[in-house]
Amino acid sequence: MSSPPQHASTRRQRCSILSLLITFSLFIEIIIVVVIVVVITIIIIVVVVVVVVVVVIAIIIIIVVVFVIIVIIVVVVVVVVITIFVVIVIFAFFFLIFVVASFIVVNDVIVDVMIIVVVIIIIVAVAVALIVTGIACGKSTVTAELEKRGIPVVDCDKLSRKVVEPGHAVFDKIVKKHGEDILLPDKSGLDRQKLGDIVFKDAEKRRELTAMVGPAIFMEITKALLYNFAVGTSLVVIDAPTLYETEHLLYLVSEVIVVAASQETQVKRIKERDGLTEEQAMDRIKAQMPVEEKVKRADIVIRNDDSLESFQKQANEVIEQIEAKYKYSLFVLWSLPGIALIASIIVGAQFLRR
């Protein structure tokens, strides 16, 4: 009769053990859930922190980039404005000179003043080479090659024709001096052959003509040099057959190139080219300084008595020599673009230092 209480006790023990097991399993599950929640929370926090850091870094980078872009834009605008201002000021100065030079009465005093101006402003910026020749020595071949290579050539023969066109003061002076007989039949300009026959036979009249024409030609040369200075040209060649007769240009030159030919060659070419007699050809040759005298004063001499191929070879060698010596001169920094560039850099540097 005692067995039922024993069975009840055993069942209670089993229930207690089962309760413990359930409690323990619940406890483990709670711990697992807590661990999972903590891990997930940590992961979320880490992700949020990383995202925030990335966003902050991105924002900082964007701010820095925007700032740099703004600074660059401001600097560029400042440089452009300063450059435009400098260009306008200097071009206004040149334009004023051109206008004044076009309306003033040209005389020796003004020419001397212009020499000083050109020497001060241009000689440090533009290397000037001069081609000096006797009549019919072949300078046109040399100047054509120079122009083909992109080297500016100031042709004094063309300028001499320009300053004696109707409407110029020099034209009026010549007509007043020699009368209307030296005009073309239709009065449209000077009869250059008649005028040549007069002045090439009379040294005094030739000097008078040179005194009238020379200053005007020099003023045109000055304009051409100022223009080339303004656009940043480092080398200009002046084709001046009578350099040594006038002497004004000697103050400006870096190199004197003489294209020379014998007197016999000159006479032959003048007769063929201009249809003149031998006497007329000789009058024109004698009106200029002897070629050999020019050769003695030259820095470079090109002889033109042999074949055209030999002459062209000499000319090309000389052109390459002066081109290599002067074309990329650092003195171009004194030109208009150079001054504008330097001014922009200085102002830009001062702006950045602030």
How far CA 43 is from CA of 31, 32, 46, 53, 58, in Å, comes to 18, 16, 5, 15, 22
- Residue with more model confidence, 112 or 156: 156
pTM over 0.75: no
Q: Which helix (H) or strand (E) holds 237?
A: strand 235-239
Average pLDDT, stretch 246-255?
A: 71
Q: Is it the case that residue 319 has pLDDT exceeding 80?
A: yes
What rounded mean pLDDT belongs to the chain? 78
How far CA 223 is from CA of 111, 130, 157, 260, in Å, comes to 12, 16, 16, 28
User: How many other C-beta atoms can be found within 10 angstroms of the C-beta atom of residue 153?
Assistant: 19
Output the DSSP codes for 116-146: HHHHHHTTTT-EEEEEEE-TTS-HHHHHHHH
The single-letter DSSP state of residue 95 is H
**pLDDT tens per residue across span 165-197:** 998 888 999 998 888 888 888 888 898 888 888
The single-letter DSSP state of residue 165 is S
| Highest mean pLDDT out of 17-26, 55-64, 280-289 | 55-64
**pLDDT tens per residue across span 203-234:** 888 888 888 888 888 888 878 877 777 677 77
pLDDT at 12: 66
**Total length of the chain:** 354
Percent residues over pLDDT 70 in the chain: 72
How far CA 17 is from CA of 20, 236, 255, in Å, comes to 5, 115, 120
Edge to edge, the sheet with strand 255-260 lists 153-155, 235-239, 127-133, 255-260, 300-303
Per the listing, tokens 């074949």 go with 307
